[in-house]
Amino acid sequence: MHFQETRIICFAILLVIVMAQKRNEPQCARNEELKECGSACEPTCKDPVPFCRFPCINNVCQCVLGFVRHPTTGNCVRQNQCPDAKNCGVNETFSECGTACEPSCSNPEPRMCTRQCIVDVCQCSPGFVRGTKGCVRKDHC
Ligand SMILES: *[C@@H]1O[C@H](CO)[C@@H](O)[C@H](O)[C@H]1NC(C)=O
C-alpha cells in the first residue's frame, strides 16, 4: 500500500517539474517557432534563402517555414508582405540576389553552386521547389 502511495506522489512531483519547465520556455511571437538549432542567418525579406556558413544558434525564436524577417517591423511575414516584393508568382519570392541554382523537382537540394547572384529575380519561396507549373512543395512534385 505504502509503495503505491509513494509512486503516486513521485509521479505528481515529476508532473509539476515538467509543467514548470514548459512555462520557462521563451514565448515566440506570431509566425515564429522555437528552434533548438536555429540558423545563424535567418531568412529575411532581402535574403529569403540565405547561404549560411555558421553553426546554428540554440533555442532561438525564428520564422516558421514560408515566413521571413521583415526589415523594419522585425516580424515574421510572408514574402509577399515584404516592402520590395515585386509581382512574383504564387509560392515565389522576389530576391535582389537570387541563387544560380534554384531548387527544382529534379534537384530539390542543389549542392554545388556558384556564389554568383541572379539579380532581381523571382524564385521559389523557402520550402518550395521549381516544378513544371510554378513553385510547389517538394512532396507535390
Ligand atoms: C503553390 O504551392 C502549393 C503547394 O505545393 C501548390 O499546390 C500550388 O499549385 C502552388 N501554386 C503555384 C501557382 O505554383
pLDDT tens for 2-11 read 667 766 554 6
Average pLDDT in the 79-83 region?
Answer: 80
Task: State the pLDDT at residue 119.
Answer: 78
* C-alpha closest to that of 98 among 131, 106, 88: 88
136 lines ligand 1 (CB under 6 A): yes
From residue 39, alpha-carbon distances to 34, 60, 96, 101, 135 in Å are: 11, 9, 21, 20, 23
What radius of gyration, in Å, describes the C-alpha atoms of the chain? 21
Residue with cell 539579380: 119
pLDDT in tens, 37-69: 999 999 998 888 898 989 999 999 999 999 999
Binned at pLDDT 50, 70 and 90, residue 18 comes out as low
| Atom number, ligand 1, closest to the C-alpha of residue 133 | 14
Q: Where are the alpha helices (DSSP H) in 25-139?
A: none
Return the number of other C-beta atoms located less than 10 Å from residue 95's C-beta: 25
Work out the average pLDDT over 16-23. 57
Please give the number of the atom of ligand 1 that sits closest to the Cα of 89: 13
Return phi, psi of residue 38, to 5°: -80, 160
Q: How many Å apart are CA 4 and CA 52, to the nearest integer?
A: 54
pLDDT at 101 over 60: yes
- Distance in Å, CA 26 to ligand 1 centroid: 33
What pLDDT, on a 0 to 100 scale, did the predictor assign at position 19? 60
Sign of the four-CA dihedral 114, 115, 116, 118: positive
Q: What predicted TM-score, i.e. pTM, was given to this entire model? A: 0.45
Ligand 1 mean position to 44 CA, how many Å?
A: 22
Q: Is any ligand 1 atom within 6 A of the Cβ of residue 85?
A: no
Name the grid cell of 134: 510554378
Q: Is the CB of 141 under 6 A from ligand 1?
A: no
Q: Is 129 in the pocket of ligand 1 (CB under 6 A)?
A: no
How high is the pLDDT of residue 126?
Answer: 92
